[in-house]
Amino acid sequence: MKLAKTNNLPLDQFINLALYDKNKGFYMKKNPFGKDGDFITAPNITRLFSEIVAIWTITFWKSLGSPKQFNLLELGAGNGEMMKVIDETLMNFPECYNACCFVIHEKSDFLINEQKKKFKF
- 71: CB partners within 8 A, 6+ apart: 100, 101, 103
Smallest Cα–Cα separation from 95: which of 52, 120, 66?
66
In the chain, domain spans:
32-118
- Tell me what the mean pLDDT of segment 109-121 comes to: 81
Q: What CATH architecture does domain 32-118 belong to? A: 3-Layer(aba) Sandwich (3.40)
Pair 58, 93: CB distance under 8 Å? yes
| Confidence band, pLDDT 50/70/90 cuts, at residue 111 | confident
- Note whether 121 and 102 are within 8 A (CB): yes
Give residue-wise pLDDT tens across range 47-103: 999 999 999 999 999 999 999 999 999 998 888 999 999 999 999 999 999 999 999
Secondary structure of 44-79 in the HEC alphabet?
A: HHCHHHHHHHHHHHHHHHHHCCCCCCEEEEEECCCC
Count other C-beta atoms under 10 Å from residue 17's C-beta. Answer: 16
- The pTM for the full model equals 0.80
